[in-house]
């Protein structure tokens, strides 16, 4: 009986497979489309915010017409569509591929700029740690990579139309990185790791000279030296601090050594 059931089951499976093979394949609606038609339809999907479909059409265009300006433009638009769809990994891969294949393209500067934008958007979520998460638990990798991407654009294409915006974003990113370092320094200070806090604060002063975060970094050094009993370095740091920030909010609480001074930051 079991043998008969096995034979019947196998027969049903075979019949099912045969029936599936008889079903007509889904027609490719783009079959026979010209490069112009494919590009036009892909752009319509892109402009309409249908990024997945736009990527599919641009990829079809690139594979069907691999030579010529349409293919190169399709590669650029694939990167942009994936960026808009917030598929950062795929967008970055598309950007790197284009730069590698077309290093002398007339619009390759835009791809450098897009690489910065992709990382720039990724680092915005990183900044949320200020209010939501301990700063030492977050890695500002995207911030550094965004800065490096914009810097590459500025250095390679100083006259690019995208360079002024890249410079503005670099300034923002410098402040973001400096702010992160100050948060880490404060974290160490609160836990009694005064030397680590001082070293981190010194890094801010050395690496981010134009950042507003230098004010607190210098103050962390003052408090750290005080806790360590190093009067000479404390007095020297305090002198520099008062000279540069005579109206600082941190000085107003300095008389109360036990006050949680970091709580009135921001």
Measured from the Cβ of residue 52, the count of other Cβ atoms closer than 10 Å reads 11
Give me the mean pLDDT over the 102-125 stretch.
88
From the options 1.25.40, 1.20.80, 1.10.3470, 1.20.120, give the CATH code of 34-100. Answer: 1.25.40
pLDDT at 1: 54
Cα–chain-centroid distance for residue 252? Answer: 37
Q: DSSP string covering 236-252, please?
A: HHHHHHHHH-TT-HHHH
The domain segmentation of the chain, as residue ranges, is: 34-100, 107-266
Q: Is the model more confident about 53 or about 255?
A: 53
Torsion of CA 48, 52, 56, 59, to 10 degrees: 90
Radius of gyration of the chain (CA): 29
pLDDT at 231 over 90: yes
Q: Is the dihedral of CA 228, 232, 235, 240 positive or negative?
A: negative
Cα–chain-centroid distance for residue 103? Answer: 23
Do the two domains 34-100 and 107-266 of this chain adopt the same fold?
A: yes
pLDDT at 122 over 70: no
Q: What is the CATH number of domain 107-266?
A: 1.25.40.10
| Closest C-alpha to 116, from 49, 159, 61, 169 | 169
pTM of the predicted protein model: 0.73
Question: Rounded to whole angstroms, how far apart are CA atoms 250 and 28?
Answer: 68
Measured from the Cβ of residue 194, the count of other Cβ atoms closer than 10 Å reads 20
pLDDT at 127 over 80: no
Question: How buried is residue 11: exposed, middle or buried, by Cβ count under 10 Å (0-12/13-18/19+)?
Answer: exposed
Question: Rounded to whole angstroms, how far apart are CA atoms 239 and 177?
Answer: 26
Which are the contacts of 99, defined by CB distance < 8 A and separation ≥ 6?
108, 111, 112, 115
Q: For 52-99, how does the pLDDT look when each residue is reduced to its tens digit (9 = 90+)? A: 999 999 999 999 999 888 999 999 999 999 999 999 999 999 999 999
Q: For 10-49, how does the pLDDT look when each residue is reduced to its tens digit (9 = 90+)? A: 554 454 555 454 445 556 777 778 999 999 999 999 999 9
């Amino acid at each position: 009986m079991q043998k008969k059931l096995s034979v019947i089951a196998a027969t049903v499976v075979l019949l099912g497979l045969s029936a599936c093979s008889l079903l007509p394949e889904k027609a490719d609606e783009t079959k026979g489309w010209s490069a112009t038609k494919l590009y036009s339809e892909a752009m319509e999907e892109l402009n309409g915010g249908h990024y997945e479909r736009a990527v599919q059409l641009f990829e079809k265009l690139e594979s069907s017409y691999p030579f010529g300006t349409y293919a190169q433009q399709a590669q650029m638009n694939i990167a942009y569509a994936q960026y808009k769809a917030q598929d950062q990994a795929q967008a970055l891969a598309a950007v790197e591929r284009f730069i590698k294949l077309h290093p002398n393209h007339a619009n390759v500067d835009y791809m450098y700029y897009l690489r910065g934008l992709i990382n720039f958007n990724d680092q915005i979520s990183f900044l949320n740690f200020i209010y939501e998460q301990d700063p030492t638990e977050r890695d500002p990798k995207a911030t550094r990579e965004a800065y490096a991407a914009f810097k590459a654009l500025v250095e390679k294409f100083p006259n690019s139309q995208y360079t002024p915006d890249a410079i503005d974003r670099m300034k923002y990113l410098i402040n973001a990185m400096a702010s992160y370092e100050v948060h880490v320094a404060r974290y160490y200070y609160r836990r009694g790791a005064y030397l680590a806090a001082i070293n981190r604060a010194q890094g801010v002063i050395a690496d981010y000279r134009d950042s507003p975060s230098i004010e607190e970094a210098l103050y962390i050094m003052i408090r750290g030296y005080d806790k360590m009993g190093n009067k000479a370095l404390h007095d020297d740091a305090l002198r520099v601090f008062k000279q540069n920030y005579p109206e600082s909010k941190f000085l107003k609480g300095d008389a109360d050594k036990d006050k949680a001074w970091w709580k009135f930051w921001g």
